[in-house]
Amino acid sequence: MTFLNDLWASFQIFSGNFTDHYGLWVNGALLLLVLAAVGLFLWRSIRLGRRVRHTEAQLNLPEPSKKQNEEWCRKLSQAVSFPTVTGDKEAISQFRSWLKESFPLVFSRLRLLDCPGDGLLFQWRCPEKGKKGPVLLCAHMDVVPTEGQNWTHPPFEGEIKEETVYGRGALDCKGTLCGILQAVEELLQDGFAPGRDVYLAFGCDEETGGKEGAAQIAKQLKMRGLHFDLILDEGTPISTAHLGKENFPAALLGVAEKGQATFRLTARQKAGHAAMPPQHTAAGYLSEAICRIEAAPLHKRLLPVMQQCLLFSAPAMGSLQRAMVANLPFTRPLLFRGTRHNLQLSALFHSTFAATCLEGGSAPNVLPETASALLNARILQGDTGEKLLEYLRSLLDDLPVTIEMVSCQDPSAITDTAGAGYQLVKGAVEETFGRLPCIPTIMPAGTDTKHYQEFSDHIIRLIPLAVSDATLSAVHGPDEHLSCRSYTAGVIFYENLLKKL
């Protein structure tokens, strides 16, 4: 209201400088301007409302046979029973042997290319030499640990209860991995051959960055001079209730992923006795630095792809939110303010920093000479690690704190939604799941595709599994699970995609 009062006061001063005659004209012109703005706002809102009414959103999971449902689902549950926590080479090796036994046609008919490390790279050749470029389907074998989590189902026994597989990796990422392998196995059994070369890449340490798996596979791809028409990796899911709206399912297609960097902040002060401390200690300066970074978040920006994402998501919104989205050129600041508590969405509007590991001090009565913190940054498209380093340096330039960039992966390119790769995936989604809106978005987290950037301009990150928010939130947490029905639909999605190539 203060803003409106100020506006009115300025308006009165402004119009008061004119004679009565001119004042009338000015008032009239301003009134017309306000009416035109309100009209434009309403027109844009109504136009989007009309479009939204014609959006079809119906999730139809394909019906597998009883045998398929049981057999495929049992295999997934067996896959989940291997505790392939990143770094456990023994578990990964046993899992690889189990894969070979469980998908015999894949291992005998496809060519397993030599890769150093524990990753797997298969080549499925198209029998005819065509002009179509190859396609790469990806997933990973490793999972995150379960220690310290309160599981009510055993995490590594592959328990099936009420047609749902429980266990670490059910969704991330063995549902995808087995989904690909099962689809290829089925197609091979039917005597199918792909219309272009297909490569399958399965990393073994995606959860810790992919240096042993995807990075080694990438070297093989480079050596062979490969360039793909499509790379499809894990990513955002088929949401059964987009933005919590039950009657609005949607396929979220990750067309980009944020980059990430780690910075080390180190504060230095003289060591000494804690009984005679200076006004500011190393720990104090470090805390000041972290507080300053948290108090000055980077400016939010609306990338065109996020604008597209919001527009396509409009049917799942209330009328007020929809009006805001319809008028984004004018309502951007309101949108940023209104979504600031939605951490997942808010993270897609800017690069972020989070202090994670802190160190300093060795005894309660000794002043530490150094105190340090690791700062994890997630980099939005348009920023780079170097830019963020510069920003931190300017923000903390008056503090005795040094900043060093420990690691950096700049953000990915953004896949064109009008491109053939995106359209291919969209087609397979629609064929499998019904008339489902496909909504492009940015992945806030990373995938193995960071190692495959140079091999394609068409990279999509999608878990083709229909899941609720509750199922999704169990990823990396306790009681991770996946329903058999959702899994079998995922297998059929991969079959449909492969048939379209």
Residues lying near Zn ion in the complex (CB under 5 A): 172-173, 234
454 SS3 class: helix
Of 172 and 186, CB closest to Zn ion? 172
Minimum distance, C-beta of residue 301 to Zn ion, in the bound complex (Å)? 27
Of 235, 258, 261, the C-alpha closest to 306 is: 258
Of 138 and 355, CB closest to Zn ion? 138
Instruction: Give the whole-angstrom CA distance, residue 77 versus residue 211.
Output: 28
3-state secondary structure 193-253: CCCCCEEEEEECCHHHCCCCCHHHHHHHHHHCCCCCCEEEEEEEEEECCHHHCCCCCEEEE
What stretches of 309-447 adopt beta strand conformation (E)?
Answer: 352-360, 366-367, 370-379, 401-409, 438-443
Minimum distance, C-beta of residue 54 to Zn ion, in the bound complex (Å)? 36
* Beta-bridge partner residues of 483: 164
Minimum distance, C-beta of residue 234 to Zn ion, in the bound complex (Å)? 5
Of 173 and 226, CB closest to Zn ion? 173
Instruction: Give the whole-angstrom CA distance, residue 132 versus residue 124.
Output: 14
CA distances from 201 to 43, 141, 216 (A): 49, 10, 11
Minimum distance, C-beta of residue 215 to Zn ion, in the bound complex (Å)? 16
Minimum distance, C-beta of residue 235 to Zn ion, in the bound complex (Å)? 9
Of 84 and 339, CB closest to Zn ion? 84
Other beta carbons within 10 Å of 424: 19
Of 445 and 501, CB closest to Zn ion? 445
Of 117 and 213, CB closest to Zn ion? 213
Minimum distance, C-beta of residue 231 to Zn ion, in the bound complex (Å)? 15
DSSP code per residue over 390-428: HHHHHHTTTSSEEEEEEEEEPPPP---TTSHHHHHHHHH
Of 134 and 446, CB closest to Zn ion? 446
Minimum distance, C-beta of residue 490 to Zn ion, in the bound complex (Å)? 14
Instruction: Give the whole-angstrom CA distance, residue 22 versus residue 16.
Output: 9
Minimum distance, C-beta of residue 213 to Zn ion, in the bound complex (Å)? 12
Please classify residue 435 by burial: count the beta carbons closer than 10 Å to its beta carbon, then call 0-12 exposed, 13-18 middle and 19+ buried: exposed
Of 52 and 170, CB closest to Zn ion? 170
Amino acid at 325: V
Please classify residue 35 by burial: count the beta carbons closer than 10 Å to its beta carbon, then call 0-12 exposed, 13-18 middle and 19+ buried: exposed
